[in-house]
Every structure is written in structure tokens, then in C-alpha cells.
Structure 1
């Protein structure tokens, strides 16, 4: 079988004029005996590599040790080979004019840089020659020559051409070569990814797979794309690690005045945010200590049940405020070598404070609006509550005591139920007359709470207050639902008497049963009045069910808003709008040129979708014939849409809401059983309570913010590793 070799080539190496000879560093990735992937991370010139001869082996070992664990298991970072225009002069399409332009070390086309081995490899004396021998002992070594490919619009002037390849102690010069040009991924710019960021969101596999699927999975894959993509994402980090050891790259830079001013302002910002966070920390610690002191009293238990939503959201907000400096700490340095892993860690880290900032900003807007319009809001809410009480509850109860919608009801039962409802409504309204004078202070307190802690805590408090204010509605609904459900169960049991059936609670089924005449008579006497009283009970149950459902839906609507605020990935949406390339979704290849050995020209065909008309596109059989030798393509990525990013987060937040939940709620509402008044949406998990001294917490906050500036400056000046906290 003909061997296949894929060369993953950095695009920037094809846009610059080649020098005489450079050394290639990267990874050899093997997946089968006749397939080889060569991922070129970067190229180093002769002068730079010569200065590192004494420690090159240690540098390669250090770089490989800093790579991702999965990459270390599959491949090892090494010296791949060398390339240059002076390799095999006069062959493989390298013209004399091109050589004289690129190789300035020789005279009359004869390169004096290096000698050549019999196989055509350039000789390297000293330690680099030893590295070549070590690389060849590991079964692979590659020699590449430059060839011109004039695609000015794409910035591609030169492409590598295989001179020969040492493949398991064999010299291979003829094989199917696929040169793939890729743009080196960098942190904050772009990277490559083959799969979804949430792997659990893939479609569910079919329980029974066809036979051809099993046969296809048993075949050995042609290439290991996961390892290749991981190596490409680590190319930038490997180059930066290598350049750290290059003495010619290190240079002292003067600190400009603007940089000093930015540093000073950053310190001021760090101390300000640390002081503000410490104030919140002192208040939260004091409030937590007070609750622990009163946790054994009945007042605490009753208030915890009455304000359960507020307590849960306050706990979440407290943990977010306490733990934000800890989330900014950089503890996983190994993940920073891969751009994809670094992006994952950074987005996970920045999601906490971005959610916190957006929540507080929304709370400031709503809180200031409530604070400046507290009186009008108080009057508006009071009018709505008065209209609901007088126009709906009282008028509806009186209407049900008469002839509602022309239905003839039982007068005695309707009057009893109506009087109970009216008395309950009147008692509750009388109690809330005394509380109404304090409602203006509640609105102002709600506004201050929104300004300080964000909008989710006041929204949760509004849910609890709605439940407390409408307690008389829920109580009446609960009493009527008990009467209605018991009446239905009694009618169902009496109906089974006429059918000769009896419910078996042990086996959960209906069994045959022989009833006596007396039992039939008693059942008939009980069944008739219960059936005639059912319309009256049903009318009252439907009315209070509608009222209670309306209250529950309003609470659920606020609960949905709270869950959406918590679940929305604000930092992802913002970065997706600014830099969509940071969110790749799969890769694809664009063929730009094919080399045909049967043609006299070095490149017999160019395939460019921007320049080639549709009616002149090559046929499939022509492409298959051309790619049998050399194929040049460019690696591209697809990108996430905002909907694809947001939908998994919302699906996780509302995972408890399904068709069965809706069906159960509808069945419970029709049968008079208890219906859940909340959606049960998933909220962020709470973390253990943090108890450290105040001065240590202030220092922790300040150092976390300063670490962001230090990492960004170090990356910018020394170019050593990706910044851990920057969003650029």
C-alpha cells in the first residue's frame, strides 16, 4: 500500500522569504503503519540553534514535560528535521534564481552552509548532528525543500516540498503528501476544536447499531485527529518555551511612563475592589454569625421556611462574593500549554465574576429606579392588590353563591363555601391594612438590596412576599381541593361497587368482589348526593384553582428570570460578538493546489474558490488523479453561533422541566391533588463557607487582581506563556 504523509505546516512560514536552512520542531503522530502526520510547530534558524547545542536535549525534554498529558502519551516533542532552499539544488522545482535569492552563503549556486550525506541530508557537525542521529533512532527524520506557490491574495509564496523522509530506517522519497497550511493558534485569538465544549450535549446513540457501523468502528483509523489538533493547539506554547532559552531573544526593555501610569492605576483599582469586597465580606460574616446564633429558635425556622427562595439566592450570592478572588488564582499551569485547554479554564474562571457583575449592574438599574419612584410603585401595587381583592376574590365568591353562568348549584353548600371564602378574605384584608403603612419601607429596602447584592436576591424576596401576601388564596384553594379530591375518591369507590370491583392496595390493581344487597343500597344512597353536590364543589374548586395557578405562574415567571440570569454565559456571548474565532466548532479543508507528476510544470492545477468560476471547476476524477501525489490545502474552522452556546446552559438549568412534569401538574390540577408551585430550576451550587481573617481576605483580593496585571505584562514583554486571566 502506498504510504501517506500529512505535513501540518504553519502558515506564517509560507508567507516569508525562506532562509538558507532551518530546523523543524514539532511532533510525529503515527496511527497506522502506512500513515504519518508531521505537525510542525515552528522553525529555528541556524544561528539560534547553534547557541543551544549544549542544552538542546534538556530543552526538548523540558518542553515535552510541560505539554498536555494526553499529548505526552501519544507523541513526543522533538527535532523533526530541516528544510531550506539549498537542499538538493536544481531539483524539485527550485530554480537557480530563487536559490541565489535565498541562499547567500554560496557562490555560483553551490551552497557552502553544509555538506550533504549520501541520502541528501545536510550535514550537521556537533550536537545537532547527534540530535539527528537520536531522531533517526526514533524512526523518523524529514528533509524538506522550498518550492514557490504564488497565491498573492492569500499571502502564500512558498510551500514545503518533500525531499525525502527517513521512515523506520527506510528512505522514502515517493509517497502521497498532503501539505496542510494552518494558522498557529494563540491564546485570545483562535484555536482548533473537533468537538463540542460540552461533550454531554452530543446526540444519543441508537440502542441498536447497524452491522456496517460496527465494522467501521473496528477498522483502524487513518489518522489520529485528536492528537494532531492537540499538538497544533500546543504549537505556540512550545515555541515560547523554546525562545525563553534563546539568549538572543532576551532583551531588557525600558518601562515607559504610560506603563508606569497604568501600573499605578491598576494598583489603585486592586486596592479599591479589595476594600469593597472586604466590606461585603464583613457584612456577610456578621449576618452569618447572627443566623447561626439564632438557628435554634422557632423564629429562625419559621422565617427560613417562609423566605426559602431568598435564603437560597442569598447563599449563592454570598459564596460568589466570597470566592471570586480564589477563582482568579492560577493553579493549573499544565493546561495553559494547550490553547484550547487554556480557553476552557479561562472561560470557566471568568464566568463567575461576569455573572456577578451583570447581576449587580441589573440590580443597580432596577434598584435606582425603585428608589426614585418608590411612592408611585407603592401606590400602583396597592391599587392592584385592592382591585384583585375586591373585583376578583370578593365579587367572584358572591357570584358563585348565586347562579354562575346559568348553572343551578346547591344553594346551601354554595352559601357555606361562599361565606367561608368571604370571611377568610376579609380577615386577611384587615390584617394587611396595618401592614400597608410599612409597604413603602419594603420597596425602599428592596431597592437598596438590589443595588448592593444584585437583582436575583430581591427577585427571590418578591417571590416569597407574593406567597405570603396570597396566603389566603392558597389556603382556600387547599381546603377546597381537599373537599374536591375526597369527593372524587368517594365517587370512584362507590362506582366500583356497582361494577362489582374492589381496589387491591397490596397489588395495586382492581379485583372482582361480591357485594351484598345492603352494601349496594348504602352505596346508592351515598353516591346520589355526592354526585349531585359535585358541580357546586367543582365550580368553587375551578375558581380558586385559577386564582392559585395565576399566583403560581407569576412566581414561576420570576423564578425563570432568576435562573436565566444565573445560567446565561455572559462572558461567552461578549467574546463571541468580539472574537468569534475563539469558539471553534469542527474543522474543514480548502484545497488550493494539486501537484501532478505527469505534468511538466511544478504545479499543474490550482483550485481556488475565489478565483475559479463555477463552470470551470475540476471534475472529481481529475482531483482524485491529482491528489495521488501532492495536495496543498488550508485548514479552516467553523464557529459556534450564540444560540448553540446559550442553549446547553439553559437546557441544564431547566432540566427538571419536561413533558412528564407538565403532565403530572395537569393531572394533579384536574384530580385535586397537590401541584408543585415552583419549576425546580437548577441554580448554581453553593460552596463551603469561607472563614479567614479580614486582613487576609483583603490581601487575597488585592493579590488576585494584581496577578492579572503581572501575567498580562509578563506575557507581553517576555512572551513566555499565555496570560492566565486576561481576556484579550
Structure 2
């Protein structure tokens, strides 16, 4: 089988021409016995490696240890090969013979061939010179020979041909590769030029946002679609993309270890000033947070002391929604230094992991900031117009009470021309009017305190954000409309019992009986007395049903309007908590930070014989060589493409969050609500949207909390190491 090589080449290396001999560092990912991926992270010249006081093996080991665990399992960071302006020994014709025992023999000028085993060392040295690899001195030459003989070593040359309009000056040209002790000079090469990912700029991802979503097929799939879905995924591609996302980090770590004693003195004063400002900012924020922490701990102690009293239990049940949102907000305020703690550098070595960790770390902050900004905006408006708002509330309450009273009086008479049962209508109307009058009298007493309630809501919004007063509004609406919910419960109880009795009597006339164990209707022989009693009870119940239904419909409409308002506020609170504000902002500024799949832009494709720079063709002399059998024509296929990404839209970023919010809502909610309205059963007053999970109450010493806040602030600030400040690890 013909060998295939895919070379992932960073675009930055093609901007300027490399030195006469540059060493390539990166990862070798093998996906099949006859194909491999070569991910080039960066190039380093020979002079820089010779100046290093540490051994190259130690530097490579340290750099590889800083990579993610998944990438270490797939491939090791190593020295891949060389890229030179021209190969050494290019004036000689290379002839290679591969025998079954793995022993290689080479000759120069196409005629000399060894006859004994005494000159094996000399022949190996001549082979290394004649294959085209650039010879170096010292430990680098030993490292190169070891890699070429046992592992993999690639030799590439600079090609002046570039890509116009893509800011690519030249493209690397494959010369040969030492593959498990064999020299391969002819194979199908695919050069993929990629822009090295950087934190805060872009990265690559092979996963789509809805890749895990399972959809029900609307039509029958063709056979070829089913076969395509049954194919094994390209698992090696995950390792390759992960390696490209780790290329910048590996370069920074390698250069930091390589030039460990290099300083940048001209930036020392600026770095000292920036460090001092960061320290002052961290101390200020930590002190302010500690004061707030002390206040919250004091309030928590008071509530814990009074939690055994009955009044505390009643208030917790009455203001349940507000209490849950206050707990969420207090936990967010207490736990912010924990969310901002810097993660392990191994997880940050990949740009994709670093981006996801940063977005997860700052999602709580963005939600908190937007919530508080909205709370300050609405709270300030309420404080300025508190009297006007109170007047509007009082007028609305009086109008609603008058409309409710007028509706009950209308139902006692002849509503819409329907003749109702006079006695029953008067009883139900009198009960409703008395309840409304009692509650309106209490509302006059409480109305004098409405100005303080509005100002309290405004202050809560300024301090805790808009979600806390919005949740308190839900509880206050439930308290203010308690008379409506009570009257609806009473009328619905009468209506539901009447409906159930009529349904049971109707089954009696049909000779059927409900079996609660098997949940079905069974035949049953009723006696004559049972039929007579059923007939006597069925007639008045049926005649009284219109009167009960009219009152039930009236109070159900009022109660549903209240529930809809509460559900609307509940959904608004959940949406405010779940909206990824930082993701939307970054998507508008730089969409390349949200990739969704990759694609290749084919730039050129050609099939030709591989020639050395001086025009001499490299060919095989052994008929036993598998490469010569797989490719009789001796032609190599070369493909050059540019790696691109698809990007998520704002809808694709936001919709998964909203699906999670409404995942707690039952699909049968509206069906059960409609059934409950028709039969007089209880209607759910909440939609059941999800809120952020509450965390355990944090209780640590004040000094430890201050130190934790300070360390968290310093962890979020950029590290200034002068020669590595181009790569900021958040």
C-alpha cells in the first residue's frame, strides 16, 4: 500500500524564509500503518539550540509534560526533522536498497557497493550524508541519528513558490523521511497550512455545537447515509487538532526553557509599575469583598438563630421564590474567588481548553454584572419615580377590585341572557363579594406602606440585581391576589366535585363502573334502587351545573391572568441567569473564537516525480522495495490546502442555554393545564424553569477569605515575563 503523509504546517513559518538549516518541533501522529500526520509547531535554528545550556532531551521532556494528558497519550512532543534551503549531498545520485532483515546498504555515485561487514559504521555515515540530511555537530547530530534510525525523521526543503493573495511566501517541499529505519522519498503528501491558534484570537475544533443532538428522521434515510453513519469516526483527527491548538503553548514553553537566563531590561520599570497597580487593585477588591462577606455571615447567623421559630418557617414558605433567588445571589457573591482560581497549566496549554475554561470562569461574572446593571437601572428609576409608581399601583388595584366586584354582581343577575339558578347564584355571589370587600379593606391599610415597598424593591435591585426584586414581586403578587386564588379554589372544588358526580352517574346509567386497579371501565349490574337514586341526584346536579360553570369560568380567567404574569416574570428571571452575555459579546467582536468544524481550501494539486534541487531524480534500485511495487510510475501526489473553520452563530450559542433552562418544563404541562381547567383540577402556578444551582454556604475565617480573594484577582491578571508576555494564560 502506498504511504501517505499529511504535514500540518504553521502559516507563520511561511511568511519569512527560514535559515539554511532549521529544526522542526511538533508531534508525530500515526493513524494507520502506512499513513501518518506530522504536526509542525515551530522551527528553531541550530545556533539557538547550541546556545542552550540544558540538554535537548530535558527540554523536550519538560515541554511534553506541560501538554494535556490526552495529547500525551496520543503522541509525544519531539524533534521532527529539518527544513533546509537545499539538502546536503545533492550532487549525488541516491540509491537505496531495503532488505528483509532491515539492514540498509548505500553507495555513492551509483557504482560502489560494500562487500563485508567491517565498514558498517562508515557506510551508515555515508548514508546519512547521501540521503540529503544536513549534518550538525555535537549532541544534535547524535539526537538526529537516533531519531532517524529508530523513530521518524523528516527532511524538507524550502520552495520559493507561494500562494498569492494568502500572504504565504513559500511552501515547504517534502524531500524524504526516515520511517522506522527505512528511507522513504516517494509518497502522497498533503501539506495543510494552518494559522497557529492563539488565546483570545482563534482556535480549531472538529466538534459541532449540535453534534450530540439526536433528531428523529422525518423520512427514510438512503442506504448510503446509513453506511456513512456506521463508519468509525476519525479519532486521530482529534489528536491532530489538539496538537495544532497546543502549538503556540509548546513554542512559549520551549523558548522559556531554552532562554531561561534572558531578561528584557528595557521593560523592567513598566513591568514593576503594572505589577504594583495589579497588587493595589487586588488588595482593594479583596478588602471590599471581605467586608461584604462579613455582612453576609452576620445576616446568615441571625437567620440561623431564628430558623427554629414558626415565623421564620412561614416567611420562608410565603416568600419561597425570593428566598431561592437570594440564596443564589449570595452564593455567587461568596464563591466568586473560587470561580476565578487559575486552573492547572496543563489544561491551559491547549487554546481550545483555555478558551472553554475562561468562558466558564467568566460566565458567572458576566451574568452577575448584567443583573446588577439592570437592577441599578430599574432601581434608580423606581427611586426617582417612587410616588408616581405607588399612585399607579393604587389606581390599578382599585380599578381591578371594582371590576371584580362588578363582575360578581353581573353574575348574580342574568349574565349574557342566561337564566341561572337564583338561590345558588346569590349564595356564590354573596360569598365572593364579602371576600372581595374584606380584602379591599385590608388593602387600604397596607396601601399606606406601598411607598416603602417600592423603595425597598429599588434598593434590593441596586444591591442584588434585578432578579431578586423580580422574584419578590412574584411572591407579592401571590399575596395581593390571595382573595382571587382562594375564591377560585373554592369554586373549582365545587365545580370538580359536580363534574365527577355527573360522570359517575352517567356511568351508572350505562351499566359501567370504573376499575381503579386496572384503570379501565368494567361492566356492572346496578340494582333498580341505585338507578332511581341516581336519577334523582343526576337531575339537580345537571341543572345546577350552568350556574357553577359561569362562576368557575369567571374566576378561572382572573386566576389564569395572574398565573401568566407570574410565569412571564419567572421566565425572565431564568433567561437573565442563563443568557451567555460574555459569549455573545466575544462573538460580536471576534467570531473566530467560536469554531464549529473544519474544512480545507484546496490550493494546488499535482502528480510528479520527486526531483532533488539540482534536477537529479531519486529512484529505487531494489525490486523488493514495497514502495516501488505500490507506485510503479514513481510519481508522487502533492496536495496543498489551507485549513479553515466554520463558526457558530449567536443563535447556536444561545439556544443550548435556553434549552437547558426549559428542560425542566414537562412536555405535557399545557395538556395537563388544559385538562385541569376543564375538569376543575388544580393548575400549576409555576412553569418549572431551571435556575442556577445553589451551593453550600461558605464559612471560612475572614483572613483566609481575604487571601483567597487576593489570589483570585492576581490569577486573573496577566503574567508579565517580558519575553513571554505575548502569550497570556488566564
| TM surpasses 0.5 | yes
Decide which of 711, 725, 729 is 1:723's aligned counterpart.
729
The corresponding residue for 2:514 is 503
Cα distance in 2 for partners of 1:220, 1:476 equals 63
Superposed counterparts of 1:538-577, under 5 Å:
538-577=549-588
> What's the counterpart of residue 130 of structure 2?
118
- The CA distance in 1 between the partners of 2:506 and 2:449, in whole Å, is 54
State which of 634, 655, 659 in structure 2 corresponds to 1:647. Answer: 655
Offset from partner CA, 1:385-408 (integer Å, 9 cap, x none): 1111112x1011111111111111
For 2:55 and 2:555, how far apart are their aligned partners in 1?
83
Secondary structure, aligned partner of 1:523: helix
Does the alignment pair 1:520 with 2:531?
Answer: yes
Q: What number of residue pairs does the alignment pair up?
A: 678
* SS of residue in 2 equivalent to 1:288: helix
Aligned pairs (5 A) from 1:666-685: 666-685=674-693
Aligned to 1:5: 5
Q: Is the 8 A contact 1:53 1:127 kept in 2?
A: no
Indicate which of 239, 247, 258 corresponds to 1:246: 258
Q: Deviations over 1:100-135 (max 9, x none)?
A: xxxxxxxxxxxxxx9952322222332112222332
Matched, 1:280 2:288: no
* SS of aligned partner of 1:178: strand
Give the Cα separation in 2 of the matches to 1:672 and 1:155. Answer: 73
Q: Pick closer, same or farther for the CA change 1:721–1:69 going to 2, 3 Å.
A: farther
Return closer, same or farther for 1:202/1:37 CA change in 2, 3 Å cut-off: farther
1:17-166 equivalent positions in 2, closer than 5 A: 17-52=17-52, 54-87=54-87, 117-166=129-178
Question: Measured at CA, do residues 526 and 219 of structure 1 come closer, stay the same or move farther in structure 2, by a change above 3 Å?
Answer: closer
Contact kept? 1:32, 1:222, Cα under 8 Å:
no
Q: Distance in 1 between matches of 2:564 and 2:427?
A: 29
Which residue, out of 346, 356, 364, partners 2:358? 346
Question: Which position in structure 1 is the counterpart of 2:107?
Answer: none
Displacement after TM superposition at 1:43 (Å): 0.6
Aligned to 2:190: 178
Query: Which residue does 2:370 correspond to in 1?
Result: 358
Separation in structure 2 between the aligned mates of residue 427 and residue 227 of structure 1, nearest angstrom: 73
- Please, which runs of 5 or more residues in structure 2 have no aligned partner? 93-125, 614-632
Query: What residue number does 1:296 align with?
Result: 308
* 2:669 is the alignment partner of 1:661: yes
Residue 294 (structure 1) shift:
0.9
Q: CA offsets per residue over residues 184-205 of structure 1, 9 Å max, x none? A: 0011111001114676446579
Among 463, 478, 485, which residue is 1:452 paired with?
Answer: 463
Aligned to 1:616: none
Give me the CA root mean square deviation: 2.7
Decide which moves more: 400-409 or 214-223: 214-223
Residues 201 and 648, structure 1, Cα contact 8 Å, conserved in 2: no
For 1:34 and 1:218, locate their aligned partners in 2 and report how far apart those are by CA, in whole Å: 23
- Alignment pair present for 1:488 and 2:499: yes
SS at match of 1:506: coil
Per the normalisation by structure 2, the TM-score is 0.88
Evaluate the alpha carbon distance shift between residue 532 and residue 220 of structure 1 in structure 2; reply closer, same or farther with a 3 A threshold.
Answer: closer
Structure 1 unaligned regions, length at least 5: 93-113, 603-624
1:509, 1:220 → 2: CA distance? Answer: 49
Deviation at 1:433, TM superposition (A): 1.1
User: Does structure 1 conserve the Cα–Cα contact (< 8 Å) formed by 2:89 and 2:130?
Assistant: no
Select 1:433's aligned residue among 433, 437, 444.
Answer: 444
> Aligned pair in 2 of structure 1 residues 484, 18: CA closer, same or farther (>3 Å)?
same
Q: Is the 8 A contact 2:199 2:727 kept in 1?
A: no
Give the direction of change, closer, same or farther, for the CA distance of 1:222–1:587 in structure 2 (3 Å limit).
closer
Asked if the contact 2:9–2:39 (Cα under 8 Å) also holds between the matched residues in 1, the reply is: yes
Q: Distance in 1 between matches of 2:218 and 2:347?
A: 34
The 1:203/1:267 distance shift into structure 2, 3 A limit, reads farther
Q: Sort the Cα spacing of 1:520 and 1:335 in 2 relative to 1 into closer, same or farther, 3 A.
A: same
Deviation at 1:58, TM superposition (A): 1.2
Contact 1:360 1:451 survives alignment (8 Å): yes
Whole-Å separation in 2 of the counterparts to 1:71 and 1:512: 70
Three-state SS of the structure 2 residue aligned to 1:163 is strand
Q: Give CA-to-partner distance per residue, 1:178-227, whole Å, 9 cap, x none.
A: 00000100111110011146764465799999876776577666772111
CA distance in 2, matches of 1:703, 1:248: 26
What are the within-5 Å matches in structure 2 for residues 302-451 of structure 1?
A: 302-391=314-403, 393-451=404-462
Kindly provide the CA deviation profile for residues 614-642 of structure 1, in whole angstroms up to 9, marking residues without a partner as x: xxxxxxxxxxx9x9710111101111111
Contact 1:179-1:632 at 8 Å conserved across structures:
yes
Q: Is the 8 A contact 2:512 2:523 kept in 1?
A: yes
Q: Determine if contact 1:414/1:536 at 8 Å carries over to the other structure.
A: yes
Correspondence for 1:686:
694
Q: Which has the higher contact order (CA 8 A, sep 6+)?
A: 2
8 A contact 2:271–2:720 mirrored in 1 = no
Q: Aligned with 1:566: secondary structure? A: helix
Give SS of 1:713's match. Answer: coil
Residues 409, 536 of structure 1: 8 Å contact kept: yes
Alignment CA distance shift 1:517-1:115 (3 Å): closer
Please state whether the residue corresponding to 2:205 is helix, strand or coil: coil
Counterparts in 2 of 1:598 and 1:61: CA distance versus 1, 3 Å? closer
SS of aligned partner of 2:498: helix
Q: Secondary structure at the match of 1:702?
A: helix
SS at the partner of 2:133? coil
Q: What is the aligned partner in structure 2 of residue 167 from structure 1?
A: 179
2:14 aligned counterpart, secondary structure: helix
Asked whether the 8 Å contact 2:27–2:38 carries over to 1, the reply is yes
**What is the CA-CA distance between 1:707 and the residue it aligns to?**
2.8
Pairing 1:699–2:707 present:
yes
